[in-house]
Amino acid sequence: MDGALTEHLSLTRAVPPPHGGATILLSGSRVEDARGAMLLVHGRGATADDIIALREEWSAEGFAFVAPQAAESTWYPRTFLAPLDQNEPHLSSGLALLGAIVDELSDRGIPAERQILLGFSQGGCLTLEFAGRFARRRGGVVGLSAGLIGPPGRRWDFTGSLDRTPTFLGCSDTDPHIPRARVEESAAELKRIGGEVDLRIYPALGHTVNRDELSHVQGIIDRLGAAPGLA
C-alpha cells in the first residue's frame, strides 16, 4: 500500500498533555507489512504533512513513514537552550509521544533496531534528546539542524548505550538557531554512549536541509535494508 498518505497511527499507550491525542500520519508501506520504519519529527511552526513529504526524497521500498503533529505546531515553547523546566510540561509530553510511537511500531512488528528516528530543527532537538535519554540500539538516529536540549553548561548523564547505532548530525556553521558548539557537544555525547556518529558542518548553509544530508539518510536506509532479516 505504498503511495499517498494511507492512514493515521493509533496508540495504545497514553501520552500526557499537551501532545496526548496527537494526530500521527502514516505513509509508505502498511506497518504490518513493513520491513522498517522512519519516525519523522517536524520543526517549530511546521506540520507533520511538511516533514513526511521528505519520504519522496529517498528510495525506501518496504518502509513505513510516521510523523506526529505537535500541539499548536510547537514541541516546547522556549528555545532548546533554555533551562529544562522552562520547557515543561511540553518537553516531557513530546518525549513521551515519541516513546509511545516507538513502542507501538515495535508491538506491530517493527522493533527499535529497524526504526530510524529523524527530526529537523526543534523536532531534531527532541529526537536527539529522546535518543540520548532512552539510548539503545536503533536502526538510525538523525538530527538535522539540531542539538541536545538544555542550557549552556549542561552536563549530560545519559546512562544507556546506542550500541553502534548509525547516527548522523548535519548543521550549518552559521545556523541562526543552532549554535555550532552545541551540535559538536551533542555529537560527542552521542558518541560517548555508543553511537556511530557522523557529524557534518556545512559552510553558510543556513537553517535548512541540503542534498548531502538527504544522501546520508539514504545511506542509513540502505544499511538498514541490507541487515539480516530485512530482505
- Tens digits of residue pLDDT in 106-149: 999 999 999 999 999 999 999 999 999 999 999 999 999 999 99
Confidence tier at 225 by pLDDT (50, 70, 90): confident
- Tell me what pLDDT residue 1 has: 43
**pLDDT at residue 85 is higher than 60:** yes
Looking from the CA of 29 toward its CB, the CA atoms found within 13 Å total: 18
The cell for 44 is: 517549530
Distance, CA of 161 to CA of 21 (rounded, Å): 30
- Average pLDDT estimate for 169-183: 97
Least confident of 171-180, 181-190, 217-226: 217-226
Q: What is the pTM of this model?
A: 0.95
Looking from the CA of 28 toward its CB, the CA atoms found within 13 Å total: 29
- Tell me what pLDDT residue 7 has: 80
Q: Which CATH superfamily is domain 7-225 in?
A: Alpha/Beta hydrolase fold, catalytic domain (3.40.50.1820)
